Amino acid sequence: MSVLQKQTKQKLYIALGLVVFALLLMLFMFSGNNFDLLMNILKNDLTQEQLRDKLNDFGWRGYITVTVLAVLQILCAFLPAEPVQVLAGITFGFYIGFLCCIIGVFIGNTVIFLLHKSFGNKLSGYFVKKLRLDLNKIAKSKKCVLIIFILYFLPAISYGMICFFAASTRMRYKRFLLVTMLGALPSVCIGVGLGHMAIASNYIISIVVFAVLILLLILMFIFRERLFEAVNAFAEKNSKSEPNKVRKVNGFVMGVLYVVFRIYYLLCGVHIKPTNKVGKIESPSIVLCNHGSFIDFIFAAALIKRFKPHFIIARLYFYDKRLRALLRLVGGFPKSMFAADIESTKNCLSVLKNGEVLAMMPEARLSTTGRFEDIQDSTYSFIKKAGVNVYTIKFGGDYFADPKWGRGFRRGAVVEAELDILFTAHQVQQMSTGDIKAGVEQRLDYNEFEWLKDRPNIKYRSPRIAEGLENILTLCPKCNSKYTIVTKKDTVCCEKCGKLTSLDNRYAFTGDFRFKNLTEWYDWQKNQLEQQIIADENYSLTSNVKLRLPSNGNGLTRAAGQGVCTLGRNGLTYCGTKDGEPYEVNFPLERVYRLLFGAGENFEIYNGSEILYFVPDEKRSCVDWYMASMILYDTTFDE
C-alpha cells in the first residue's frame, strides 16, 4: 500500500470516527431531559439554582452533561464558554466541576485537531472569525505558542477558533494538546472558580470578584481592536529570522566538520589531493567550483576553509530545522535553484560588502554524466555587478568518487582540487558579460572520462559499481524499450534483451557493446528524445505524481498530495491536490530552465521559497523530465 493510500485510508477512518462521535453526542443530548436542559441554557430562562437542581437530579448523567456542554462550547463557535464553566462550579463545586470542564476541553480540542487533519483548511470559514488578527504573521512568529496562550484571554475569540488556528500551524498532536490545554486552563479555573465562590463564599465577596471580572471583560471588549493590534505588533517584532539570512561563519564548527568528514572519506577509500596556486585569497571575492559530486563542499573546504567562505546551498536542505541550524553555523544560506530569488541575491551582495568570501557551484545541480553542465546567464551578470576577484576550484575525480546515480563511495577514488585565480577585480570591471562567460566556461569545463585517461593507475572498487545506472540510462540501445534497464553489482541488463554489458573498475563498458561508457549512451538517448520533441509540435511528457512540499522542520519534505504533471511547450503544469484541497499551478516554459532531479527519486521546481517535489509513478523517468525540460527550453529560446 502506498503512502498516499495509507493517508487516504487514515483520513477516512478519522472522518468516520468523527461522524460516529457526533451521532453518539446527539443521541445523548436528545435523550432523557438533556434536550430540555440544553434549550433552557440557550434561552437563559432558568436561574442558576434551578439549573443546579436539574443537574443534581440527573445523577451521573449530570457529570456527562456538563462535560458534553464543555465539548460543545469548543465545537460550536456561537456558544460562550463562561456559562458552562460557572454552571459546573455552582453545581459540582470546584474540583469536580473543573474536572468535567477540562475533560470536555480535551475532547473538543482533539476533535478539532482531527477535523483539521482530515479536511485541512476547508473548515476555516466556520471556526476562524474575521478579526483584526494577522494569523499568518502569528503562525510565523517565534512566540507563536505564547501568543496562542494570550488569545485565550482576549474577548470575542472562541476556544474553537484558537484550537483550529493552532492545528493549522501543523503542530504534532502532543504539542498541540499541551499548548491548547495549558492555554484554556486559566480561564477554566476562573470560570469554575466563580461558580464555586457563588455558593461557597460570602456572597458580598463573590459579587465584588464577579463585578471586577465583568468590568475587565467589558474594558477588554471595548479596547479589543487595540489589543489585537498589540498582538500583531508583538508577532511581527518576534518574527522568525528567515533561514536565508546569512550569518558569520563559525570557524571552529567548520573545522570540526571538515576533520570529521575528511576522516570518514578516508575510511571510505576516498583521497583528496588539494593544490593551492594562489596562496591567500583576497577578500571580498567569489570562488566558483564545478559540481560533479554531492560532497564537493568538503573538497572545496580542503582549500578555502581558513578563509571562512559562505556557500550558496539549495534551499531544499534548509527545510529540516536541524540541518538548517548546522548549515547556518558554517555560513551557508539557501537559494531557490533556477528561480528568481531576491533574498539570495541580497545575501550574496551582503557577503561581498562585508569583505568576505562567497563560494558557489554555478552549475546549480550535480552533473548527470561527469561533464560540465551549463550555467545560467544571470550568474555572469551577477559576477559583473559584483566587480570583485574571481577564483575557481576545479575538481577532477569527484564524480567517479560518488556519482549522482551511484550507491555508495568508490574505494580507490582520488579527488583533485585546484584553487587558482580567474579574474582580478580590475579585469572584471573592464570585461563584458560575454567575456566573463567565456572565461568561466573555459576554466570550469571538465570531462571525467578525459581526466581519467591521464591517470591509468586509478581503479575504482565497489561491490555495486553499476547499480543505479538505470536511473540515468532509460532507453535500451538494442530494442529501444523504455525503463527496462536493470542493474546488479557490475552488470547492466535489459528486461527484454538480457545482459547488455558490465561496468569495469574504470567506468568503461565491457564486451562488444555499442557504447564505450555511460556518457555515450546518455548522449544517444538524449538525441533520440530531442528528435522526438523537434518532430512533434504537440510533444508532452505526462505522469501521475505524488506531491511533496517543504516539511515543518522535521525532515526535508512531507507528503502533500497527488495529481498529474505535464511538461510541454507551454511549460510545466501540475493539476491535483495540495494539503487536501484542489490545486493547479503552471510554470511557463521560460521559468522551466532546467527541472532539477534526483536520480530514481524525483523531479522538482521552486516556486518562490517553496519547492514542489514531484515523485512520479515510474521513478526511473525522472532523468527524462530533466532532459525534456532542457531540450524544450533550449530549442525554444536559443533559436
For the stretch 122-150, pLDDT in tens is 666 666 666 666 666 777 677 777 877 88
In the block, cell 473538543 appears at 108
Predicted confidence band of residue 5 (pLDDT cuts 50, 70, 90): very low
Q: Provide the pLDDT for residue 529.
A: 97
For helices 82-119 and 173-200, angle between their N-to-C axes, nearest 10 degrees: 170
Say which residue, 75 or 19, is predicted with more confidence: 75
Q: Provide the pLDDT for residue 2.
A: 41
Q: Provide the pLDDT for residue 246.
A: 82
Taken in order 482, 488, 489, 492, the sign of the CA dihedral is negative
Give CATH for domain 536-637.
2.30.29.30
What number is the average pLDDT over the span 518-535?
97
Residues 6+ apart with CB under 8 A from 519: 369, 370, 371, 447, 449
For 338, the 3-state DSSP assignment is coil
The DSSP symbol for 410 reads P
Residue 153 identity: F
Nearest to 344 by CA among 365, 313, 323: 313
Q: Provide the pLDDT for residue 1.
A: 43
CA distances from 299 to 261, 290, 295, 337 (A): 10, 11, 7, 22
Taken in order 334, 337, 340, 345, the sign of the CA dihedral is positive
For 294, the 3-state DSSP assignment is coil
Predicted confidence band of residue 182 (pLDDT cuts 50, 70, 90): confident
In the block, cell 561527469 appears at 370
CB count in 10 Å sphere of residue 465: 23
From the number of C-beta atoms within 10 Å of its C-beta (0-12, 13-18, 19+), residue 519 rates as middle
- Cell digits of residue 67: 462535560
- Cell digits of residue 305: 576553509
Say which residue, 124 or 606, is predicted with more confidence: 606
Helix (H) or strand (E) holding 275: strand 270-276
Q: Provide the pLDDT for residue 237.
A: 67
The alpha carbons of the chain give a radius of gyration, in whole angstroms, of 32
For 271, the 3-state DSSP assignment is strand
Determine phi and psi for 610, rounding to 5 degrees.
-105, 135
Predicted confidence band of residue 156 (pLDDT cuts 50, 70, 90): low
Contact criterion met (CB below 8 Å) for 360 and 290: no
Q: Provide the pLDDT for residue 330.
A: 93
- Cell digits of residue 615: 515523485
For the stretch 66-100, pLDDT in tens is 787 788 777 776 555 566 777 777 767 778 888 88
Rounded CA separation 481/499 (Å): 14
First and final C-alpha spacing in the chain = 47
Contact criterion met (CB below 8 Å) for 334 and 314: yes
How high is the mean pLDDT of the chain?
84
Rounded CA separation 355/608 (Å): 28
* Domain boundary assignment for the chain: 3-237, 265-453, 469-523, 536-637
Q: How far is CA 378 from the centre of its chain?
A: 26
What number is the average pLDDT over the span 369-376?
95
Asked if the model's pLDDT at residue 434 lies above 60, the reply is yes
What number is the average pLDDT over the span 242-268?
86
CA distances from 189 to 99, 141, 620 (A): 10, 28, 59
| Vertex 63: Cα angle to 59 and 67 (nearest 5) | 155
In the block, cell 563584458 appears at 432
Rounded CA separation 204/28 (Å): 38
Q: Provide the pLDDT for residue 281.
A: 94
Give the helix ranges, DSSP H, for 223-338: 224-237, 251-267, 296-304, 321-329
In the block, cell 550569518 appears at 247
For 153, the 3-state DSSP assignment is coil
Q: Taking every pair of C-alpha atoms in the chain, what is the biggest distance, in angstroms?
A: 103
Q: Provide the pLDDT for residue 118.
A: 73
For the stretch 466-494, pLDDT in tens is 999 999 999 999 999 999 999 999 999 99
Give me the long-range contacts of 154-157 (CB less than 8 A, separation at least 24): 154/220, 154/224, 154/227, 154/228, 154/231, 155/217, 155/220, 155/221, 155/224, 156/129, 156/131, 156/221, 156/224, 157/129, 157/131
Rounded CA separation 486/278 (Å): 46
Asked if the model's pLDDT at residue 232 lies above 90, the reply is no
